[in-house]
A and B are shown apart, each in its own frame.
Chain A
Amino acid sequence: MNLWNKLMCYSRRHSPWLFHMNGGSCNGCDIELIASLTPRYDAEQLGVRLEGSPRHADILCITGPVTHNAVNAIKTVYDQVCGPKAVVAIGSCPATTNVFIDSRTLDGPLNRHVPVDVFVPGCPPRPDAIIQGIAKAAEILAERAAKKLPVAPVVMPLVGPGCEGACPCAATTETKNEEVRA
C-alpha cells in the first residue's frame, strides 16, 4: 500500500460525515443521535459532522423500522450518497423491526432494502454506543479505501444498564429477520 492510500485510509477513518435519516422511527433514536453530537458526548472529536445533504455524507444513519412510506425514500437517499459509503442502522427497529414486528404498515427490517454495515442495538441505544458504531463504520470505510473485500455486517454490543434481555438484542437479529421474511 503506497503513501497516498495510507493517507486516504487515515483520512477516511478520521472524517466521517453523517447523513441522518428517519425511516419511521418513534424519534427516540433520533434524539440519541443528536445527543451524541452535543457537548456531553461531542462526536466532533472524531471528526464527525452532521451534513445537510446526502451528497456530502460518508455514513448514512438510519433509524426506525422502515415503513412502507419510507422504503423509496431510503433507497433514493442511499443512491444519492457518493461512494465509498457505509450504512449504520441505529436502534433495534431497523435491525429487527422491534416491537412493531408483524405490523402491516412495515416493510422492514432495513437490510432487505440497503446493505447495512453496522447495527447499533438498543431501544434507544446510548449516545456512546452510537459513537462507537459510527467509529466502526469509519473503519469499514477505511478498509474499503484499502481495496479489501467488503466486510460482513458488524453488530455492536449493547452498552449501558437496563438493556439486558429487555429489548431485542444482537443474538436475536437473525431469527427475527427469518420470521419477517416467512
Chain B
Amino acid sequence: MITPEIWNSLTTALARLLIFPGLLFAVPAAWFFLWVERKAVARMQGRIGPPFMQPFFDFIKLLGKSTPPRNGVGGLLMRAWPLIAVSAAAGAVGLLPVLPASGGFEGDLILLLALLEVPSMCIIAAGFSSGSIFGEIGSAREAVLSVSYNIVFLLAIISIAASQHTFSLQALAQLPASPLRWLGIVAILVCLPAKLHLNPFSLPNAEQEIYSGPMTEYAGPELAMWELSHGLEWVAATGLAATLIAPALTLWWVAALVFVALTFAIVLLLSVVAAATARLQIDTTVRFYWQCTLIFAVLAVASALFMRFRA
C-alpha cells in the first residue's frame, strides 16, 4: 500500500537522483567543469584554449571508437570498473543536500564519503587488471596517494561532524558554520587536488611520464566513462565543499544558484592552483600530507572533541 507520504518521498528521492543535483544537472556540469579546468589552464599559459563544447565532443567521439578485444574475467572486470565508478560518482552527486527539500532519501556524510571513495578504488583496480606495467605503476601511486590524503580528509570531516554534533548532510547544510568548521573546510580544500588528480598531486595519471597510468590500456567508450566519472567526481567533491560553505537559505532557487556559484568558484581555484604548480614526486606528496597537513587535521579534531566535552 503506497501512502501519499511514501509516494512523495519516493518522487523527491528520484528527482534528486535524476534531475537536480543528480544526473540531468550533474552530467552537463561535469562537462562544464572539465572545460573550465582546461580553459583556466590555457588562459594561465597565455593560450586561448579549447572551445566550450570540447568535453562533450570528446565524449561523443570516444563513444564512437572501437575497443581492443578483451577476453576472460580480466576483460570483463576491465569493462566493469568504469561503469561502477560512474554510478558511484553519480550517486554521490545525488546525495548532496542542495535543495532544502522535505522527504526523500537522506543520506549522511559517511555514505557520501564512501561513494566518493569508490571511483578511486576502481581506478586502482582498473590499473592492476589492465596488466600494463604503466597501469600498475599508476595504481600503486594512486593507492599510496589515497592512503595519504584520506587520513587528512576523514579527520577534517570528523572534526566538522564533531563540532556540529551531527553526521547528517541535511543538518550540516542547515546549521551555521562555526570557526572549527572553517578549519575543516580548509583541510578538505587541501585534499581536493589529490582526490581529483590535479597538478601538484597528479602522480597517478602522470601523462608522458607513465603514459596515462591506470588509464593506459583503456580506449573508446570505456575511456569516455572514465572521463565522465572524473567529471562527476569534480561535481561531487566541489559540491560537498560548497554545501559545507553555503549558508542555509530557505528559497530553493537562491540555494541552487549559490550552490552553482560556489562550486564554480572552487573549480576555478583548483584549476588555477593546478596551472600554477608542477607535479610533485611521490615521496614529497606523502610527506606533505603526513607531516605538514596531518598536524592541523589532528589539532582540528582534538579541539572539536574538546569543545564538545566542555559543552
Contacts and interface: CB of A to CB of B under 8 A. Distances in A.
Interface of A: 7-8, 10-12, 14-15, 17, 39, 42, 44-45, 47, 49-53, 55-56, 58, 80, 82-84, 145
A10 B53 CA distance: 11
Nearest to B49: A44
Contact of B212 (A7, A53, A82, A84): A53
A44 B47 contact: yes
A132 B104 CA distance: 54
B65 interface: yes
Contacts of A58: 61, 65
Contacts of B60: 7-8, 11
A52 B61 contact: no
Give the size category of B's interface with A. Answer: 35 or more
A54 to B, nearest CB: 9
B64 A15 contact: no
Interface string B93-113: 000000000000000000000
Contacts of B45: 39
Contacts, number: 88
B61 A39 contact: no
Given A15-B61, A55-B216, A55-B219, 18 more contacts: A8-B60, A12-B61, A15-B54, A15-B57, A15-B58, A17-B58, A42-B42, A44-B47, A45-B50, A47-B57, A47-B58, A52-B209, A58-B65, A82-B67, A83-B65, A84-B64, A84-B66, A145-B64
Contacts of A8: 60-61, 64
**Interface of B (DSSP majority class):** loop
B48 interface: yes
Contacts of A11: 56-58, 60-61, 64
B133 to A, nearest CB: 12
23 contacts: A11-B64, A14-B51, A42-B42, A42-B48, A44-B38, A44-B47, A44-B49, A45-B48, A47-B50, A50-B208, A51-B207, A52-B210, A52-B216, A55-B68, A55-B217, A55-B219, A55-B223, A58-B65, A82-B65, A82-B67, A83-B66, A84-B64, A84-B65
Interface in B19-67: 38, 42, 45-51, 53-54, 56-58, 60-61, 64-67
Nearest to B39: A44
A82 B66 contact: yes
A34 to B, nearest CB: 11
A62 B156 CA distance: 49
Contacts of B220: 82
B306 interface: no
Contacts of A47: 50-51, 54, 57-58
